Structure 1
Amino acid sequence: MKTMSRTIATGILAVTMAACSANIAPPDVPPTFTGEAPAIRDGQYAEYETRRVFNAPLVPLRDFIESEQRIVGAMEETDQIRKPVDVVVVHGEWPEEGSVRRLEFSDGHFAMERVLENDFPTLFRYQVWNYTSAAGQNLDYALGQQAWRELPDGRSELVWTYRLKPNAWYKHHFIQQFVSNDMRPLMDNALDTVVEQAHAHFGGE
């Protein structure tokens, strides 16, 4: 069932890839939404997928995680990946499908983010683009997906996928290295922390 009021915070992995090129000063004025987003295309992506099982039923678990934005809170910022510090909805009703918001990161840079699909509690897909940081010189956009399901034994599973679309074929190898070396531990460590939090809250073995 789709919902307009519930969603996992998604700006958690709108990446600032400072290692990809020389540092770029943040803009004096935030970017505006033009009414368009990049078309999603086939082709090479740099990507990572991780899976976790939680000892909790699905809907109470989702409510527990989202009520305190626990995945965001569990992430540890690095020089290469900045966390969002502010969001402004610039189109639609967040998190309706097609709605857009502007993310501001801790280094003063920005990106746009739109909801591609929101079917609570089982699926959330989103796209991030228009990076004002160095990432904008290397990426067309990023795609995120969080797919949830309740298991037969009453536990819940999350499969979290993040994909980066290079803006040139020859950048794929470098961006995949970034995903493997920086994003993978960030995502894994954050989910490990949230699994522990859920275990403490809901109990279980």
Structure 2
Amino acid sequence: MRSAISCLVLPIALLSLSACVSVPATDPSFSTEPPRQVDRSSIIHTVEVDIQAPADALLDWIITVPLEDVFLAYRSLPGVATSEVLTDTWGTPGTRRRVRLEDGHQVVEQLLSVVPGEHFSYQLWGFTNEAGLLAEYAIGRFELESRPGGELTRVTWTYSFTPKGPVRRIPLSLFVRTNWRGYMSAALERLGAEADSHFAAAAQNTRQNDDGLARKEENL
């Protein structure tokens, strides 16, 4: 009976505490190694979008796109304000950056793997907001699949949250099923629109340059 009551009371207490998590007075160093990935039941959500761009170029663009252009506020979730690279560079496995949210909270992100034109993955931990009460870490993964013709790419984005123990799985699952799934859908829709605009402009510039070269050759 006591165990059953705890399973009901603790999630409610954690959700109540989430509103009281204060912004850190100083920036965390985020210098420690990421949490060891454990074989614990994760909470997973996946979204997809088709983008008019070749997979190789699109993957490189997604890895380096400014987060603040894509991750805007959604319901009670703040958008990304800035990101700061904590290693010499960003874009290869092992590189790391600080992600600062609009409400002042932070999280650290590290690239785990990058396979050109196919997929990349990353790990987040050190959440200073309420997510830190519930999740040990999260794994994000983008998978890219070229569609027939090679100029259209299916992008599949998956997030896996590992809870801090079985009881915290309950409120974490609620968070993912409500706010986070909408946050992901809105961000991926925005990412698709930004990518379509970027690659359409690049294609237009290429056509204009080709036309200019053709006219020069005609005048020779």
**Is the TM value for this pair above 0.5?**
yes
Aligned residue pairs, count: 186
Give the counterpart of 1:111 among 107, 111, 126.
107
Distance (Å, rounded) in 2 between the aligned partners of 1:60 and 1:109? 32
Distance (Å, rounded) in 1 between the aligned partners of 2:158 and 2:23? 28
Return the index of the structure with the highest Cα Rg: 2
Given the superposition, is the C-alpha separation of residues 107 and 169 from structure 1 closer, same or farther in structure 2, using an over 3 Å criterion? same
- Read off the aligned partner of 2:39 and give its amino acid letter: D
Post-superposition shift, 1:75? 3.7
Post-superposition shift, 1:162? 0.5
Structure 2: gaps (5+ residues): 1-13, 202-220
- Read off the aligned partner of 1:169 and give its amino acid letter: P
What is the aligned partner in structure 2 of residue 58 from structure 1?
A: 55
**Preserved contact between residue 83 and residue 100 of structure 2 (Cα < 8 Å):** yes
Give the counterpart of 2:166 among 156, 159, 169.
169
Given the superposition, is the C-alpha separation of residues 107 and 149 from structure 1 closer, same or farther in structure 2, using an over 3 Å criterion? same
What is the aligned partner in structure 2 of residue 85 from structure 1?
A: 81
Distance (Å, rounded) in 2 between the aligned partners of 1:153 and 1:121? 15
Superposed CA deviations along residues 145-198 of structure 1, whole A, max 9, x for unmatched, are 001121233221111001111102112122122112112122223323444455
Post-superposition shift, 1:40? 0.8
Given the superposition, is the C-alpha separation of residues 180 and 130 from structure 1 closer, same or farther in structure 2, using an over 3 Å criterion? same
Post-superposition shift, 1:119? 2.1
Would you tell me which structure has more helix in proportion to its own residues? 2
- Read off the aligned partner of 1:156 and give its amino acid letter: T
Structural mapping, 1:24-103, within 5 Å: 24-62=21-59, 69=66, 72-78=68-74, 80-103=76-99
Structure 1: gaps (5+ residues): 1-16
Distance (Å, rounded) in 2 between the aligned partners of 1:157 and 1:138? 32
What is the aligned partner in structure 1 of residue 185 from structure 2?
A: 188
- Read off the aligned partner of 1:158 and give its amino acid letter: V
Question: Does 2:193 align with 1:179?
Answer: no
What is the aligned partner in structure 1 of residue 216 from structure 2?
A: none
- Secondary structure of residue in 2 paired with 1:192: helix
**Preserved contact between residue 142 and residue 162 of structure 1 (Cα < 8 Å):** yes
* Sequence identity percentage: 25
Q: Over aligned residues, Cα RMSD in angstroms?
A: 2.8
Give the counterpart of 1:142 among 119, 135, 138.
138
- Read off the aligned partner of 2:51 and give its amino acid letter: F
**Preserved contact between residue 95 and residue 115 of structure 1 (Cα < 8 Å):** yes
